[in-house]
Structure 1
């Protein structure tokens, strides 16, 4: 779905009086649409963008990638197959364990990941532009705190 259609179709949830929850839901919709738009601009799907970013800096085992992306192994296999056909990633077996498969960014994949990340940063700057500078900084700090807490809870098995 196109970004402009997703945004124009935002639900008017504010009337339900759920203590700010609708605003958070609508923010999630705006962010999801923004990620989709940036991915499309770079000829990626949002999930391909997440895959590339998840491989930044180091190769990862398929099982670890599936867990970090929150997808089943079969879905990840298809995702990696498509990225591999595009020359964005490569697969290799791990020395000493023929069953374990590791995925690595190719040079083209690294360039695509960097372009996607740069596009996302620019898009986020545009979204936050209406806020005063101190509020933009505070928003980023608070978002990082929420994400950090969610990752910690996920790592400890609680949610």
Structure 2
């Protein structure tokens, strides 16, 4: 599910966080500060990606579908597999695919062995759209990350992996 994330532009100071920690003993000031900064950066990155993609008349959901199809050897996948990989409902995926199909970027193909089933194929126009978007995306990504050394990038991935494993504390999948 794609949600609009709120932009918290005024992060609390350490003094404010300490005040909260006095009232709520469970509060870990450095954990809160790190979490809020990560959330803000993630929001900023998502907004920047939206702005980049909108210049190419794409939305994130549709772009990710095109990316997932391009990753496949035969440029084809099933709608249910795409929905699972994107973490969206089948109904949401249907909407994404309808829009992409109307734009000529994907096409639905019947499965010969099971005519009730359909596969989604990236079209030449879909590939051309990605060929137009990806150089812009990669250039912006390179500029965004240029302040980090290779070692720092590796460390960042490790740190984010630890945070990802800690997401179970939020219990949001249940």
TM-score bracket relative to the smaller structure: 0.7 to 0.9
Tell me, in whole angstroms, the C-alpha distance in 2 between the residues paired with 1:144 and 1:94: 39
Q: Aligned pair in 2 of structure 1 residues 77, 116: CA closer, same or farther (>3 Å)?
A: same
Distance 1:63 1:95 in 2: 18
Aligned-partner SS, 1:20: helix
Q: How many residues align?
A: 142
Shift of 1:95: 2.0
Whole-Å separation in 2 of the counterparts to 1:116 and 1:136: 26
Asked whether the equivalents of residues 39 and 116 of structure 1 are also in contact (C-alpha less than 8 Å), the reply is yes
1:106 aligns with 2:119: no
Aligned counterpart, 1:89: 106
Superposed CA RMSD in Å reads 2.7
Counterpart position of 1:11: 9
Runs of 4+ in 1 over 3 A off after TM superposition: 142-147
Higher gyration radius (CA): 2
Residue 19 of structure 1 deviates from its aligned partner by 4.4
2:95 pairs with 1:78: yes
Determine the C-alpha separation between the residues in 2 that align with 1:110 and 1:44: 13
Q: Which residue of 2 aligns with 1:31?
A: 45
Using the size of structure 1 for normalisation, the TM-score is 0.76
1:138 Cα offset (Å): 3.3
Give ranges in structure 1 of 5+ residues lacking alignment. 1-5, 154-158
Q: TM-score, normalised by structure 2?
A: 0.70
Q: Distance in 1 between matches of 2:151 and 2:56?
A: 29
Q: Does 1:46 find its partner at 2:60? A: yes
Within 1, Cα distance between the matches of 2:139 and 2:91?
A: 33
Q: 1:150 to 1:20 in 2, by over 3 A?
A: closer
Match of 1:21 among 20, 35, 40: 35
Q: Secondary structure in 2 aligned to 1:13?
A: coil
